[in-house]
């Protein structure tokens, strides 16, 4: 390898490390199930955030959250997802400590 290639490779690596670290932090922050209150019914629901979209938004300087799954879906899948503001506003992101890691058979659609 010549000196220019070595410098370019090193620079690329040094630039990608902070981006990868930010991606890992975002995955840890947004992965998993959340328990929130549905704005339409005022009942507790379990949701899963679209993690890849949240990571891409975070890396580009935004903070867009969209749901990947909800316990009210598929019947209400076209909702406006106003509940994500609860997740963004909560210090813990509405992460429930008592939520199961696996869902019962009738709620398997959230595990995707």
For 8-52, write each residue's pLDDT tens digit: 888 888 888 887 887 777 777 777 788 888 888 888 888 888 888
The arithmetic mean of pLDDT across residues 60-73, rounded, is 84
Reported pTM? 0.62
| Domain boundaries defined on the chain | 3-111
Closest-CA residue to 93 (of 52, 53, 54, 43): 54
Q: What is the DSSP letter of 32?
A: S
The arithmetic mean of pLDDT across residues 82-108, rounded, is 65
Give kind and range of the element (H or E) at residue 21. helix 3-30
Find the Cα–Cα–Cα–Cα dihedral 12, 58, 22, 90, rounded to 10°.
170
- Between 47-56, 59-68, 92-101, the lowest mean confidence (pLDDT) is in 92-101
- Count of alpha carbons within 13 Å of 36, Cβ hemisphere only? 27
d(CA 78, CA 22): 31
Q: What is the pLDDT of residue 112?
A: 46
């Amino acid at each position: 390898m010549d000196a220019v290639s070595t410098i370019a490779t090193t620079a690329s690596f040094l630039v990608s490390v902070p981006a990868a670290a930010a991606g890992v932090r975002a995955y840890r922050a947004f992965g998993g199930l959340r328990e929130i209150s549905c704005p339409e019914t005022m009942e507790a629901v379990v949701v899963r955030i679209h993690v890849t979209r949240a990571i891409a938004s975070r890396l580009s300087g935004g903070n867009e959250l969209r749901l990947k799954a909800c316990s009210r879906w598929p019947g209400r899948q076209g909702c406006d997802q106003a509940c994500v503001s609860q997740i963004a506003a909560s210090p813990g992101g509405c992460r429930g400590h008592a939520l199961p890691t696996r869902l019962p058979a009738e709620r398997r659609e959230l595990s995707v």
